[in-house]
Structure 1
Amino acid sequence: MISVQEEDFDHCNEYQALRDNADSDGAVVTFTGLVRDFNLESSVSSIVIEHYPGMTEKSLLTICSEAKKRWQLGHIRLIHRVGLIASSEQIVFVGVTSKHRKNAFAACEFIMDYLKTSAPLWKQEGTPQGLKWVDSKASDNEAIEKWGLAN
Structure 2
Amino acid sequence: MRVRVEIHNDTLSPWEELASHEQATAELKGRIGAAGVFVGTMRDFNEASDVIAMHLEHYPGMTETHLERICAEAGKRWELLDTLVVHRVGEILPAEPIVLVAVWSEHRKDAFEACRFIMEDLKSKAPFWKKETLTDGSARWVEKNTAGY
TM-score bin (small chain): 0.7 to 0.9
- The question of whether the paired residues in 2 share the 8 Å contact of 1:33 and 1:93 is answered with yes
Aligned counterpart in structure 2 of residue 99 of structure 1, from 106, 109, 123: 106
Matched, 1:62 2:69: yes
Give the Cα–Cα distance (whole angstroms) in 1 for the partners of residues 100 and 121 of structure 2: 13
Please name the residue that 2:6 is paired with: 3
Q: Which has the higher strand share?
A: 2
Give CA-to-partner distance per residue, 1:69-121, whole Å, 9 cap, x none: 11000111100111111111010000110000110111110111011110011
- Determine the structure 2 residue equivalent to 1:131: 139
> Does the 8 Å contact 1:19/1:28 carry over to 2?
no
Inter-partner Cα distance in structure 2 for 1:82 and 1:110: 21
Alignment RMSD (CA, Å): 1.6
1:35 alignment counterpart: 42
Moved more, 114-123 or 15-24: 15-24
* TM-score normalised by the chain length of structure 1: 0.86
The alignment's TM-score, normalised by the length of structure 2, stands at: 0.87
Contact 2:52 2:94 in 1 (8 A): yes
The answer as to 2:81 corresponding to 1:78 is no
Aligned partners of 2:41 and 2:103: how far apart in 1?
A: 18
Choose the corresponding residue for 1:49, options 51, 56, 74.
56
The answer to whether the aligner puts 1:118 opposite 2:131 as a matched pair is no
- Identical counterparts, % of pairs: 41
> Which whole-Å CA distance do the structure 2 matches of 1:98 and 1:18 have between them?
15
- C-alpha offsets along residues 47-85 of structure 1, whole Å, 9 cap, x if unaligned? 111111111111111111111111000111100111111
Q: Measure, in 1, the Cα distance between the counterparts of 2:124 and 2:89.
A: 16
Gaps of 5+ in 1: 144-151
Looking at structure 1, the residues matched to 52 and 140 of structure 2 have their Cα atoms a distance apart, in angstroms, of: 12
* Structure 1 consecutive aligned stretches of length 4 or more whose deviation exceeds 4 Å: none
